[in-house]
């Protein structure tokens, strides 16, 4: 199945789905969002990549393009790439206006923190690569994630397993949006870093905990467990 331009969903949604389907639904179905220190810092870093640095930069056999618009009618996604590097190759790449030779695209996604245990960042990068493959009609088998906390670039091979995980995330995002469904909350350790924690309220919404117990615990935290 292919989608039209008007049907495309945000590419960032696949990352949300892999991290937490409830978060994905809150953002892309219920259209809610909230910033925290992590998202604000991340926004500043992305602004530096997109706005403060030159949009196009040439370094010998390396061409750097920032803020490149991407889309895949097959996945039904569109978004903006932080950076797409184009490496000059002997053959098998793409032609670029104003630059002689053949060039191989190589997406690079910037993240503020450290490498995660889950694969949400990898899926987001892979979705960008799949968009590039469809748009440029050239295989994109590698990319990189740059983590600001570590100041480290992690090279990533975009293998069949990751591609299937990415396609499944895109399908699941589409299901959530088409059905208008928001999964129930479930409190996990990763919730503490989520900017939507205050809106999601996993401790209050979980079926394993009554609203009365949640309110009592919240009051105890605020009052310190003693009389005023």
Where residue 203 falls among pLDDT bands split at 50, 70, 90? Answer: low
pLDDT beyond 60 at 31: yes
Per-residue model confidence (pLDDT) at position 207: 52
Question: Beta strands 142-147 and 152-157: pairing type?
Answer: antiparallel
- Please report where in the chains the tokens 């998202």 appear, as a residue: 39
3-state secondary structure of 217: helix
74, 2 Cβ separation under 8 angstroms: yes
pLDDT over 60 (residue 35): no
**What's residue 117's pLDDT?**
84
Lowest mean pLDDT among 112-116, 182-186, 201-205: 201-205
pTM equals: 0.80
Length of the chain: 228
Domains in the chain: boundaries: 5-183, 187-228
CA distance 100 to 89: 11
Model confidence over 63-93: pLDDT tens digits? Answer: 999 999 999 999 999 999 999 999 999 999 9
Query: DSSP alpha helices (H): ranges in the chain?
Result: 12-19, 21-28, 37-47, 120-136, 160-179, 197-200, 202-205, 211-223
pLDDT of residue 218: 58
CA 190 to CA 174: how far, in whole Å?
24
Nearest-CA neighbor of 109 among 223, 11, 217, 40?
Answer: 11
Please say if the pLDDT value at position 37 is more than 50.
no
**Do 102 and 90 form a contact (C-beta atoms < 8 A)?**
yes
Phi, psi of 60 (to 5 degrees): 60, -115
For the domain spanning 5-183, the CATH number is 3.90.320.10
In angstroms, what is the C-alpha Rg of the chain?
20
Residue 68, phi then psi, degrees to nearest 5: -80, 130
């Amino acid at each position: 199945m292919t989608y039209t331009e008007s049907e495309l969903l945000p590419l960032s949604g696949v990352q949300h789905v892999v991290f937490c389907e409830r978060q994905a639904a809150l953002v892309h179905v219920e259209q809610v969002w909230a910033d925290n220190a992590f998202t604000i810092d991340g926004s500043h870093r992305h602004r530096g990549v997109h706005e403060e640095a030159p949009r196009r930069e040439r370094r010998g056999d390396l061409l750097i393009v920032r803020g490149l618009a991407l889309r895949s009618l097959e996945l039904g996604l569109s978004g903006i790439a932080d950076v797409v590097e184009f490496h000059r190759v002997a053959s098998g790449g793409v032609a670029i206006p104003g630059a002689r030779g053949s060039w191989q695209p190589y997406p690079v996604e910037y993240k503020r923190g450290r490498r995660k245990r889950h694969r949400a960042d990898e899926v987001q990068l892979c979705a960008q690569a799949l968009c590039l493959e469809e748009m440029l009609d050239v295989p994109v088998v590698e990319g990189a994630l740059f983590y600001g906390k570590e100041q480290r670039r992690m090279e990533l091979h975009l293998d069949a397993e990751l591609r299937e995980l990415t396609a499944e995330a895109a399908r699941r995002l589409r299901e959530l949006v088409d059905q208008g469904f928001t999964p129930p909350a479930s409190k996990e350790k990763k919730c503490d870093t989520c900017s939507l924690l205050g809106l999601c309220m996993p401790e209050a919404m979980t079926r394993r905990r009554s609203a009365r117990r949640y309110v009592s615990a919240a009051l105890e935290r605020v009052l310190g467990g003693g009389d005023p």
